[in-house]
Amino acid sequence: MEEQDICAYRERRQRKSPEEEEALEKEHFWKIINAFTGYGSSIHEQVNRTERQFKSLPKNQQELLPHFVPHLDCIRQCIDHNQKILQMIVDDCTHMFENKEYGENGYRKPTPPSTFDMDKLKSTIKQFVRDWSEDGKAERDACYQPIVDEILKHFPKDNGDVSNINILVPGAGLGRLAWEIAKHGYSCQGNEWSFFMLFSSNFVLNRCSETDAFKLYPWIHQFSNNRKSSDQIRPAYFPDVDPHDLPPSANFSMTAGDFEEIYTDKCSWDCIATCFFIDTAHNVLDYIDTIWKILKPGGIWINLV
């Protein structure tokens, strides 16, 4: 979640009573649900607007691009498919958190998602590619593998059972880095603030059990930087692995909430692993102070920016 999102949310919460905080959190929860469920209508309207603009061109110019309108129809089919997957993601979100129920969406009627929320959702769809598709392997190898290699170097598995090594991954996103660490046998917990990411990681980690069982069309939202039109409607299949394929002794979990507020117990973690996380801080020194406090003596912080 970007810096301004966290800061605005914190500022609103700081001025509220506990009851008001809970109401604010519930409102935010359903606002994100609304973005997921309203994706199709929002993106369809963008495509319809593109078609109207195209058809406003002189007839002779339209005839130079005879395949453009049929291509838009293909995009519409991709939008409908994406919406089906997004609906699957949110179908059980009201029960995904332990000791927390958000009830029914009674705070307001569904409204068209904001441009900001749509941008966040489109970014989340692309995150499926990076974290859980074969297409994202090169990027994962570039940013996740160096972190895993450092963990293996500092806490070698040939020294014995590493399940007692506790590793925290703040800003876990869709959970792939934390999952990769847990797959090596370490006890690993991912932490994430964004409901966009939490809903999506819950679906992958808890509802997916077959490789490449699902697909999304992550590139349909951009009409530029495509070498050919077929690239725009190319699907990305996920997950590229079975998320349940972890060692029997694996201790892997995900938590929701503000990193600085949740992790207050001193000397609790052997390792903190962060990847593109520090730049989300309103005050980087606050993050560093929290990391320092919760690391055990001799613990390490592995950071990639």
Closest by Cα among 304, 281, 305, 283 to 3: 281
Average pLDDT over residues 190-218: 97
Cβ within 8 Å of residue 181, ≥6 positions away:
148, 151, 167, 169, 188, 273
Q: What gap in Å lies between CA 72 and CA 220, rounded to an integer?
A: 10
**Neighbouring C-beta atoms of residue 168, cutoff 10 Å:** 27
Using the predicted structure, report yes or no on whether residue 106 has a pLDDT greater than 70: no
Q: What is the value of pTM for the model shown? A: 0.90
pLDDT of 180 > 50? The answer is yes
Alpha helices (H) in the chain, listed in sequence order: 3-14, 18-37, 39-55, 59-62, 68-90, 115-132, 137-143, 145-154, 176-183, 195-207, 229-232, 259-262, 284-294
Please count the other Cβ atoms lying within 10 Å of the Cβ belonging to residue 51: 16
Q: Count how many domains the chain has.
A: 1
Cα distance between residue 75 and residue 233, in whole Å? 7
DSSP 36-77: HHTHHHHHHHHHHHHHHHHHTS-HHHHTT-TTHHHHHHHHHH
Query: How far apart are alpha carbons 55 and 277 in whole angstroms?
Result: 44
DSSP label at 95?
G
- In this structure, are residues 257 and 191 in contact, taking their beta carbons and an 8 Å threshold? yes
pLDDT of residue 25: 84
Q: What is the mean pLDDT of residues 271-283?
A: 95
Q: Which residue would you say has higher pLDDT here, 282 or 171?
A: 171
The CATH number of whichever domain residue 203 belongs to comes to 3.40.50.150
Tokens 């029997």 correspond to what residue?
248
Q: Tokens standing for 74?
A: 């293909």
Q: Are 253 and 189 in contact (CB under 8 A)?
A: yes
**Angstrom distance (rounded) from CA 158 to CA 140:** 25
pLDDT for residue 9: 55
pLDDT at 13 over 70: no
**Average pLDDT in the chain:** 92
Indicate whether 54 pLDDT > 50.
Answer: yes
Q: What 3 state SS string does 120-166 have?
A: HHHHHHHHHHHHHCHHHHHHHHHHCHHHHHHHHHHCCHHHCCCCCCE
Rounded CA-CA distance 192/239 in Å is: 20
290-301 mean pLDDT: 98
Of all residues in the chain, what percent carry a pLDDT higher than 90? 81
Question: What was the pLDDT predicted at 7?
Answer: 58
Q: What is the pLDDT of residues 152-164, one digit of tens each?
A: 999 999 988 999 9
What phi and psi values does residue 33 have, to the nearest 5 degrees? Answer: -55, -45
- Structural domain span for residue 107: 3-304
- pLDDT recorded at residue 283: 93
Q: Is 190 helix (H, G, I), strand (E, B) or coil?
A: strand
CB 269 within 8 A of CB 162: no
- pLDDT of residue 2 exceeding 60: no
